[in-house]
């Protein structure tokens, strides 16, 4: 934890310069403590089967410019903490980690693409502490209760937060928080929701959620309503801008709209990804998740 061996993942993510990290074989990596990143890092699992499992997850804290690509992350548990290197020139005492697969804390310009997530102790991906400019795309989520939390505090507003959630597949064994949002702006575009037990999209504290071109397939015996406004009376949440535009609702699924139907005029500066027709979502998400099967020197 203090002096990681050169060539290991822990050593590479702490180097002070920009680094593109690739893997020379299939591997299962058990992190004894959370993996703390420096800025300007790409973790690229293409061409190999890379599994982060059985140990702690990734911590992106007060950094920028990180890409996490084609990685399996599942069965993540809390690290106990202790003396851990958190930068090339700094070692300090860390408390126990939460047990998230990826925790994004006070960080910007992060892209998580073509990863597969399941079954962690806490969340699959948490975005908190005024993090912003985050994209989660082409990922596959299964087997979890509280999956995606964007904005964790009721009293410290993440009103700067901007997240794009695109081309992901939310599959078997999911219950809620796909995502749950406080304060910020989240664009949910061309995702395939084939299961949720409690709700798919929830939030609080005036979050703005724009849902465009998604497919929502309600599970038999589970909740049909897609949306959930946490612990807020209707006179409050009716002012929050939650809009469904061009979504495909199946098996009784329904989205409760609220707020300004002309929201786009207020968000002209936001870089919104154009939505494809919802009828195309199954094709758009066909290769969601890790294991792209790429080969060096060939198109991926």
Which structure tokens are listed for 165? 């959630």
pLDDT digits (tens, 9 = 90+) for 16-41: 999 999 999 999 999 999 999 999 99
Q: What are the C-alpha distances in Å from 84 to residues 9, 32, 104, 182?
A: 14, 11, 18, 31
Asked whether residue 296 carries a pLDDT value surpassing 80, the answer given is: no
74 confidence band (pLDDT: 50, 70, 90): very high
C-alpha distance from residue 49 to each of 44, 160, 259 (Å): 11, 36, 44
Tokens of 161: 């937060």
What does the pLDDT average to over 100-120?
98
Residue 298: pLDDT over 90:
no
Q: Active site residue: 85, 94, 177, 243, which one?
A: 177
Q: Is residue 178's pLDDT more than 90? A: yes
Residue 16 CB neighbour total at 10 angstroms = 11
- Residue 158 in contact with residue 137, Cβ under 8 Å? no
**Hey, what are 238's tokens?**
């009716």
Q: Nearest-CA neighbor of 90 among 205, 2, 213?
A: 2
Peptide bond into 179 cis (omega under 30): yes
Can you give the pLDDT at residue 224? 98
> What are 239-285's pLDDT values in tens digits?
999 999 999 999 999 999 999 999 999 888 888 999 999 999 999 99
Which pairs from 260-269 meet CB under 8 Å and 24+ separation? 263/208, 263/210, 267/185, 267/208
Q: Judge if pTM exceeds 0.85.
A: yes
Asked if residue 98 has pLDDT above 90, the reply is: yes
Known catalytic membership, residue 177:
yes
pLDDT of residue 143: 97
Please give the average per-residue pLDDT across 125-142, as a whole number.
Answer: 98
Helix or strand run (H / E) with residue 281: helix 281-284
Among candidate residues 165, 168, 171, the one with its CA nearest the CA of residue 138: 168
Band of pLDDT at residue 287, cut at 50, 70 and 90: very high
pLDDT for 268: 84
């Amino acid at each position: 934890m203090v002096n990681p061996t050169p060539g290991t993942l822990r050593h590479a993510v702490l180097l002070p310069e920009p680094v593109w990290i690739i893997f020379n074989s299939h591997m299962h990596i058990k992190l004894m403590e959370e993996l703390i990143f420096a800025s300007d890092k790409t973790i690229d699992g293409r061409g190999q089967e890379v599994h982060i499992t059985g140990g702690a997850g990734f911590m992106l804290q007060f950094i920028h410019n990180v890409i996490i690509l084609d990685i399996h992350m599942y069965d993540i548990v809390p690290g106990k903490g202790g003396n851990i290197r958190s930068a090339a020139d700094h070692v300090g005492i860390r408390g126990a980690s939460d047990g998230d697969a990826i925790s994004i804390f006070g960080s910007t310009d992060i892209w998580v693409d073509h990863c597969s997530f399941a079954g962690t102790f806490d969340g699959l991906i948490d975005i908190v502490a005024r993090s912003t400019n985050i994209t989660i795309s082409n990922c596959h989520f299964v087997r979890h209760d509280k999956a995606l939390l964007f904005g964790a505090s009721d009293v410290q507003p993440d009103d700067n937060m901007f997240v794009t959630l695109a081309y992901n597949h939310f599959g078997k064994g999911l219950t809620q928080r796909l995502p749950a949002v406080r304060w910020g702006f989240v664009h949910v575009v061309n995702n395939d929701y084939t299961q949720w037990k409690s709700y798919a999209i929830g939030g609080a504290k005036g979050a703005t959620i724009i849902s465009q071109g998604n497919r929502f397939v309600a599970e038999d015996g589970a909740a049909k309503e897609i949306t959930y406004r946490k612990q807020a009376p209707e006179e409050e949440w009716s002012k929050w801008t939650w809009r469904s535009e061009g979504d495909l609702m199946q098996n009784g699924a329904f989205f409760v709209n609220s707020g300004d139907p002309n929201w786009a005029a207020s968000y002209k500066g936001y870089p919104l990804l154009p939505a494809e027709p919802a009828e195309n979502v199954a094709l758009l998400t066909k290769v969601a998740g890790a294991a792209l099967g790429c080969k060096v020197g060939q198109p991926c």
